[in-house]
Amino acid sequence: MPGDIVVAALGGTIASARPSAGGVAPSLTAQDLIDAVPGLPSNVEALSFRSLPGSSVTVPDLMALHRLLSERFAAGAAGAVVTQGTDTIEESAYALDLVHRGPQPIVVTGAMRNPMLAGPDGPANLLGAVTVAGSLSDVGCVVVFADEIHPAARVRKTHSTGIATFVSVDGGPLGYLVEGAPVVVNPRASRHTLPRPSALPNVGIYPASLGDDGSALAAMATVLDGVVIAGFGVGHVPSGWTPLIDSLCARMPVVLATRTGSGPVLHRTYGYPGSESDLQRRGAVPAGFLHPYKARLLLQFALAAGASSAQIRAAFGVAGQVSSTERWPFL
Ligand code: ASP
Protein backbone atom coordinates (compact mmCIF):
# COMPACT_ATOMS: atom_id res chain seq x y z
CA MET A 1 0.00 0.00 0.00
CA PRO A 2 1.37 3.42 -0.84
CA GLY A 3 1.79 5.71 2.15
CA ASP A 4 0.03 9.08 2.23
CA ILE A 5 3.28 10.92 1.50
CA VAL A 6 5.91 9.37 -0.76
CA VAL A 7 9.51 10.34 0.08
CA ALA A 8 11.58 9.71 -3.04
CA ALA A 9 15.35 9.95 -2.59
CA LEU A 10 17.59 10.90 -5.50
CA GLY A 11 20.87 11.41 -3.58
CA GLY A 12 22.68 14.70 -2.89
CA THR A 13 24.28 16.07 0.26
CA ILE A 14 21.22 15.18 2.35
CA ALA A 15 21.94 11.50 1.60
CA SER A 16 25.73 11.66 1.73
CA ALA A 17 28.09 9.74 3.98
CA ARG A 18 31.82 9.03 3.99
CA PRO A 19 32.08 5.41 2.94
CA SER A 20 35.90 5.38 3.04
CA ALA A 21 38.74 7.84 2.55
CA GLY A 22 37.96 10.90 0.45
CA GLY A 23 34.94 13.15 0.32
CA VAL A 24 31.33 12.37 1.10
CA ALA A 25 29.11 10.86 -1.58
CA PRO A 26 25.42 9.98 -1.83
CA SER A 27 24.76 6.57 -0.29
CA LEU A 28 21.89 6.81 2.24
CA THR A 29 18.50 5.36 1.37
CA ALA A 30 15.14 7.09 1.61
CA GLN A 31 14.44 5.02 4.73
CA ASP A 32 17.74 6.22 6.29
CA LEU A 33 16.65 9.82 5.71
CA ILE A 34 13.22 9.20 7.22
CA ASP A 35 14.71 7.43 10.25
CA ALA A 36 16.91 10.47 10.98
CA VAL A 37 13.93 12.81 11.49
CA PRO A 38 12.42 12.99 14.95
CA GLY A 39 8.68 13.62 14.83
CA LEU A 40 8.11 12.66 11.20
CA PRO A 41 4.55 11.40 10.64
CA SER A 42 4.31 7.62 10.24
CA ASN A 43 2.33 7.72 6.99
CA VAL A 44 5.38 8.09 4.74
CA GLU A 45 6.53 5.65 2.10
CA ALA A 46 10.28 5.45 1.45
CA LEU A 47 11.28 5.23 -2.20
CA SER A 48 14.99 5.05 -3.00
CA PHE A 49 14.91 6.11 -6.63
CA ARG A 50 18.48 7.19 -7.46
CA SER A 51 21.68 7.80 -5.50
CA LEU A 52 23.29 10.63 -7.47
CA PRO A 53 24.91 13.97 -6.87
CA GLY A 54 22.65 16.79 -8.04
CA SER A 55 25.06 17.45 -10.89
CA SER A 56 24.33 14.03 -12.44
CA VAL A 57 20.52 14.05 -12.23
CA THR A 58 18.95 14.18 -15.71
CA VAL A 59 15.59 15.23 -17.11
CA PRO A 60 14.84 11.58 -18.06
CA ASP A 61 15.51 10.63 -14.38
CA LEU A 62 12.97 13.26 -13.32
CA MET A 63 10.40 12.24 -15.90
CA ALA A 64 10.71 8.57 -14.85
CA LEU A 65 10.25 9.70 -11.24
CA HIS A 66 7.22 11.78 -12.19
CA ARG A 67 5.67 8.77 -13.92
CA LEU A 68 6.14 6.73 -10.74
CA LEU A 69 4.78 9.48 -8.48
CA SER A 70 1.75 9.87 -10.74
CA GLU A 71 1.02 6.17 -10.22
CA ARG A 72 1.27 6.66 -6.45
CA PHE A 73 -1.06 9.69 -6.64
CA ALA A 74 -3.56 7.67 -8.70
CA ALA A 75 -3.40 5.02 -5.96
CA GLY A 76 -4.22 7.60 -3.28
CA ALA A 77 -0.97 9.21 -2.12
CA ALA A 78 -1.65 12.75 -0.92
CA GLY A 79 1.69 14.26 -1.89
CA ALA A 80 5.35 13.58 -2.55
CA VAL A 81 8.71 14.77 -1.30
CA VAL A 82 11.77 14.52 -3.52
CA THR A 83 15.14 14.72 -1.78
CA GLN A 84 18.06 15.55 -4.03
CA GLY A 85 21.30 17.48 -4.44
CA THR A 86 20.81 21.20 -4.05
CA ASP A 87 23.08 21.92 -7.01
CA THR A 88 20.25 21.34 -9.47
CA ILE A 89 17.10 21.79 -7.36
CA GLU A 90 16.19 25.06 -9.10
CA GLU A 91 16.06 23.18 -12.42
CA SER A 92 14.63 19.84 -11.32
CA ALA A 93 11.80 21.53 -9.41
CA TYR A 94 10.89 23.55 -12.51
CA ALA A 95 11.07 20.46 -14.75
CA LEU A 96 8.67 18.62 -12.40
CA ASP A 97 6.43 21.68 -12.17
CA LEU A 98 6.14 21.90 -15.96
CA VAL A 99 4.71 18.38 -16.23
CA HIS A 100 2.80 17.94 -12.98
CA ARG A 101 -0.94 18.49 -13.43
CA GLY A 102 -2.46 16.93 -10.31
CA PRO A 103 -3.52 18.68 -7.10
CA GLN A 104 -1.05 16.68 -5.00
CA PRO A 105 2.03 18.74 -4.14
CA ILE A 106 5.50 17.64 -5.15
CA VAL A 107 7.96 19.14 -2.68
CA VAL A 108 11.67 19.14 -3.43
CA THR A 109 14.22 19.51 -0.66
CA GLY A 110 17.81 18.69 0.23
CA ALA A 111 20.56 19.84 2.56
CA MET A 112 23.61 22.05 2.50
CA ARG A 113 25.29 20.38 5.50
CA ASN A 114 25.77 16.66 5.14
CA PRO A 115 24.87 14.29 7.99
CA MET A 116 28.54 13.97 9.04
CA LEU A 117 28.69 17.68 10.03
CA ALA A 118 27.53 19.48 13.15
CA GLY A 119 24.00 20.81 12.66
CA PRO A 120 23.01 19.07 9.43
CA ASP A 121 19.98 20.80 7.91
CA GLY A 122 18.61 17.74 6.10
CA PRO A 123 16.30 16.40 8.85
CA ALA A 124 14.61 19.78 9.46
CA ASN A 125 14.22 20.36 5.72
CA LEU A 126 12.73 16.88 5.27
CA LEU A 127 10.29 17.40 8.13
CA GLY A 128 9.23 20.73 6.63
CA ALA A 129 8.86 19.20 3.19
CA VAL A 130 6.71 16.31 4.44
CA THR A 131 4.55 18.78 6.37
CA VAL A 132 4.00 20.90 3.25
CA ALA A 133 3.37 17.81 1.09
CA GLY A 134 0.66 16.74 3.52
CA SER A 135 -0.97 20.17 3.84
CA LEU A 136 -1.04 22.16 0.60
CA SER A 137 -2.79 21.38 -2.63
CA ASP A 138 -2.78 22.74 -6.19
CA VAL A 139 0.66 24.31 -5.80
CA GLY A 140 2.42 22.18 -8.44
CA CYS A 141 6.04 21.66 -7.46
CA VAL A 142 7.57 23.72 -4.67
CA VAL A 143 10.93 23.77 -2.91
CA VAL A 144 10.94 23.69 0.89
CA PHE A 145 14.22 24.73 2.46
CA ALA A 146 15.17 26.50 5.69
CA ASP A 147 11.50 26.97 6.65
CA GLU A 148 10.62 28.69 3.37
CA ILE A 149 8.29 27.46 0.63
CA HIS A 150 9.43 28.49 -2.84
CA PRO A 151 7.62 28.27 -6.17
CA ALA A 152 9.57 26.21 -8.71
CA ALA A 153 9.43 28.95 -11.36
CA ARG A 154 11.16 31.55 -9.16
CA VAL A 155 13.47 29.66 -6.84
CA ARG A 156 17.24 30.08 -7.27
CA LYS A 157 20.27 28.64 -5.52
CA THR A 158 22.12 31.83 -4.63
CA HIS A 159 24.99 30.73 -2.38
CA SER A 160 27.38 27.83 -2.85
CA THR A 161 27.58 26.89 0.85
CA GLY A 162 25.07 28.87 2.94
CA ILE A 163 22.05 27.04 4.35
CA ALA A 164 19.72 29.90 3.35
CA THR A 165 20.83 29.49 -0.24
CA PHE A 166 17.36 29.23 -1.83
CA VAL A 167 15.74 32.53 -2.71
CA SER A 168 12.62 33.29 -4.73
CA VAL A 169 13.76 36.20 -6.84
CA ASP A 170 11.19 38.53 -8.42
CA GLY A 171 8.31 37.96 -6.06
CA GLY A 172 9.45 36.22 -2.91
CA PRO A 173 8.53 32.87 -1.40
CA LEU A 174 5.10 31.31 -1.65
CA GLY A 175 5.10 31.00 2.11
CA TYR A 176 6.86 29.94 5.28
CA LEU A 177 6.79 27.22 7.88
CA VAL A 178 5.70 28.89 11.10
CA GLU A 179 5.80 26.78 14.27
CA GLY A 180 5.83 23.74 12.04
CA ALA A 181 2.81 24.67 9.91
CA PRO A 182 2.79 26.07 6.37
CA VAL A 183 1.56 29.64 5.98
CA VAL A 184 0.97 30.77 2.38
CA VAL A 185 1.48 34.51 1.97
CA ASN A 186 1.84 34.65 -1.80
CA PRO A 187 -0.57 32.16 -3.39
CA ARG A 188 0.14 30.78 -6.80
CA ALA A 189 -2.01 32.52 -9.44
CA SER A 190 -1.89 29.91 -12.20
CA ARG A 191 -0.17 26.72 -13.34
CA HIS A 192 1.27 26.02 -16.79
CA THR A 193 2.00 22.48 -17.85
CA LEU A 194 3.11 20.55 -20.94
CA PRO A 195 3.24 16.87 -21.80
CA ARG A 196 6.10 14.85 -20.30
CA PRO A 197 8.78 14.88 -23.01
CA SER A 198 9.98 11.53 -24.32
CA ALA A 199 12.89 12.67 -26.53
CA LEU A 200 14.74 15.81 -25.50
CA PRO A 201 15.89 18.38 -28.06
CA ASN A 202 19.33 19.84 -27.47
CA VAL A 203 18.93 23.35 -26.05
CA GLY A 204 21.93 25.30 -24.79
CA ILE A 205 22.47 28.45 -22.75
CA TYR A 206 25.04 30.98 -23.86
CA PRO A 207 25.87 34.06 -21.75
CA ALA A 208 26.91 37.35 -23.29
CA SER A 209 30.24 38.49 -21.86
CA LEU A 210 32.50 41.50 -22.26
CA GLY A 211 34.04 41.71 -25.71
CA ASP A 212 32.98 38.20 -26.80
CA ASP A 213 33.01 38.04 -30.61
CA GLY A 214 30.27 35.36 -30.71
CA SER A 215 32.41 32.70 -32.42
CA ALA A 216 31.92 30.25 -29.54
CA LEU A 217 28.15 30.76 -29.74
CA ALA A 218 28.26 30.09 -33.50
CA ALA A 219 30.22 26.88 -32.92
CA MET A 220 27.95 25.73 -30.12
CA ALA A 221 24.81 26.43 -32.16
CA THR A 222 25.86 23.89 -34.79
CA VAL A 223 24.79 21.12 -32.38
CA LEU A 224 21.68 22.81 -30.98
CA ASP A 225 17.95 22.67 -31.70
CA GLY A 226 17.37 25.87 -29.76
CA VAL A 227 19.34 28.37 -27.71
CA VAL A 228 18.80 30.62 -24.71
CA ILE A 229 20.99 33.69 -24.75
CA ALA A 230 21.63 35.15 -21.30
CA GLY A 231 22.08 38.74 -22.38
CA PHE A 232 23.54 41.69 -20.51
CA GLY A 233 21.13 43.75 -18.41
CA VAL A 234 17.65 43.95 -19.93
CA GLY A 235 18.65 41.69 -22.85
CA HIS A 236 21.64 43.07 -24.74
CA VAL A 237 24.49 41.44 -26.68
CA PRO A 238 27.55 42.93 -28.43
CA SER A 239 26.52 44.70 -31.67
CA GLY A 240 28.86 42.44 -33.68
CA TRP A 241 26.60 39.47 -32.90
CA THR A 242 23.68 40.77 -34.95
CA PRO A 243 24.44 38.83 -38.20
CA LEU A 244 24.84 35.69 -36.08
CA ILE A 245 21.52 36.36 -34.29
CA ASP A 246 19.85 36.71 -37.71
CA SER A 247 21.24 33.38 -38.88
CA LEU A 248 20.36 31.63 -35.59
CA CYS A 249 16.79 32.98 -35.65
CA ALA A 250 16.42 31.61 -39.19
CA ARG A 251 17.47 28.13 -38.00
CA MET A 252 16.12 27.64 -34.49
CA PRO A 253 14.23 29.30 -31.64
CA VAL A 254 16.39 31.90 -29.92
CA VAL A 255 15.20 32.89 -26.47
CA LEU A 256 16.53 36.07 -24.90
CA ALA A 257 16.92 36.08 -21.11
CA THR A 258 18.99 38.22 -18.75
CA ARG A 259 22.23 37.13 -17.14
CA THR A 260 21.65 39.43 -14.16
CA GLY A 261 19.75 36.83 -12.11
CA SER A 262 16.61 38.86 -11.54
CA GLY A 263 14.34 41.32 -13.30
CA PRO A 264 12.75 41.04 -16.74
CA VAL A 265 14.00 41.30 -20.30
CA LEU A 266 12.59 44.54 -21.74
CA HIS A 267 10.97 45.10 -25.17
CA ARG A 268 11.20 48.69 -26.33
CA THR A 269 13.58 50.77 -24.26
CA TYR A 270 16.94 50.61 -26.07
CA GLY A 271 17.24 50.93 -29.84
CA TYR A 272 20.82 50.16 -30.95
CA PRO A 273 22.20 47.06 -32.75
CA GLY A 274 22.32 44.25 -30.17
CA SER A 275 19.80 45.92 -27.86
CA GLU A 276 16.75 44.08 -26.52
CA SER A 277 14.35 45.69 -29.03
CA ASP A 278 16.75 45.06 -31.93
CA LEU A 279 17.18 41.38 -31.01
CA GLN A 280 13.44 40.88 -30.68
CA ARG A 281 12.85 42.55 -34.05
CA ARG A 282 15.29 40.02 -35.49
CA GLY A 283 13.18 37.18 -34.05
CA ALA A 284 14.49 36.50 -30.55
CA VAL A 285 11.78 35.48 -28.06
CA PRO A 286 11.89 37.42 -24.75
CA ALA A 287 11.96 35.24 -21.63
CA GLY A 288 10.44 37.91 -19.39
CA PHE A 289 11.27 37.18 -15.77
CA LEU A 290 12.26 33.56 -16.46
CA HIS A 291 15.84 32.77 -15.45
CA PRO A 292 18.01 31.30 -18.27
CA TYR A 293 18.20 27.86 -16.55
CA LYS A 294 14.42 27.67 -16.41
CA ALA A 295 14.02 29.16 -19.89
CA ARG A 296 16.19 26.35 -21.24
CA LEU A 297 13.87 23.72 -19.75
CA LEU A 298 10.73 25.44 -21.02
CA LEU A 299 12.18 25.67 -24.54
CA GLN A 300 13.30 22.04 -24.42
CA PHE A 301 9.86 20.81 -23.28
CA ALA A 302 8.03 23.05 -25.78
CA LEU A 303 10.15 21.77 -28.67
CA ALA A 304 9.60 18.20 -27.48
CA ALA A 305 5.84 18.89 -27.60
CA GLY A 306 6.20 19.96 -31.26
CA ALA A 307 5.44 23.62 -30.50
CA SER A 308 5.27 26.13 -33.35
CA SER A 309 7.15 29.45 -33.19
CA ALA A 310 3.92 31.18 -32.20
CA GLN A 311 3.33 28.68 -29.40
CA ILE A 312 6.90 29.09 -28.13
CA ARG A 313 6.47 32.86 -28.09
CA ALA A 314 3.14 32.56 -26.27
CA ALA A 315 4.58 30.11 -23.73
CA PHE A 316 7.39 32.52 -22.84
CA GLY A 317 4.96 35.45 -22.74
CA VAL A 318 2.91 33.61 -20.12
CA ALA A 319 5.68 31.86 -18.17
CA GLY A 320 7.85 34.99 -18.27
CA GLN A 321 4.96 36.99 -16.79
CA VAL A 322 5.30 39.98 -19.07
CA SER A 323 2.48 39.43 -21.53
CA SER A 324 -1.10 40.07 -20.50
CA THR A 325 -2.45 39.14 -23.93
CA GLU A 326 -0.88 35.71 -24.54
CA ARG A 327 -2.54 32.50 -23.38
CA TRP A 328 -0.76 29.31 -22.39
CA PRO A 329 -0.61 27.39 -25.67
CA PHE A 330 -0.51 23.80 -24.38
CA LEU A 331 -3.30 21.59 -23.10
N1 ASP B 1 26.08 20.59 -2.68
C2 ASP B 1 25.16 19.70 -3.25
C3 ASP B 1 24.00 19.38 -2.32
O4 ASP B 1 23.71 20.23 -1.54
C5 ASP B 1 25.72 18.51 -3.87
C6 ASP B 1 24.72 17.92 -4.82
O7 ASP B 1 23.96 18.66 -5.47
O8 ASP B 1 24.68 16.70 -4.91
O9 ASP B 1 23.39 18.37 -2.31
What residue ranges do the domains of the chain occupy? Answer: 5-184, 203-319
Q: What is the pLDDT of residue 3?
A: 57
Q: How far is the CA of 324 from the centre of ligand 1 (A)?
A: 37
* Spatial separation of the C-alpha atoms in residues 311 and 308, rounded to whole Å: 5
Q: What is the pLDDT of residue 226?
A: 98
* Spatial separation of the C-alpha atoms in residues 202 and 8, rounded to whole Å: 28
Q: Is the CB of 92 under 6 A from ligand 1?
A: no
Q: What is the CATH number of domain 5-184?
A: 3.40.50.1170
Q: Is 123 helix (H, G, I), strand (E, B) or coil?
A: helix
Which atom of ligand 1 approaches the CA of 160 most closely? 1
Q: What is the pLDDT of residue 21?
A: 75
Active site residue 13: yes
Q: Is the CB of 54 under 6 A from ligand 1?
A: yes
Question: Does 5-184 match 203-319 in CATH topology?
Answer: yes
- Which parts of the chain sit beneath pLDDT 50? 1-2
Q: How far is the CA of 10 from the centre of ligand 1 (A)?
A: 11
Q: What is the pLDDT of residue 22?
A: 86
Q: What is the pLDDT of residue 1?
A: 43
Answering whether pTM is above 0.75, one says: yes
* Spatial separation of the C-alpha atoms in residues 186 and 173, rounded to whole Å: 7
Could you say which DSSP state residue 61 is in? H
Sign of CA dihedral 217, 230, 86, 298: negative
Task: Identify the CATH assignment for 203-319 out of 3.40.50.40, 3.40.640.10, 3.40.190.10, 3.40.50.300.
Answer: 3.40.50.40
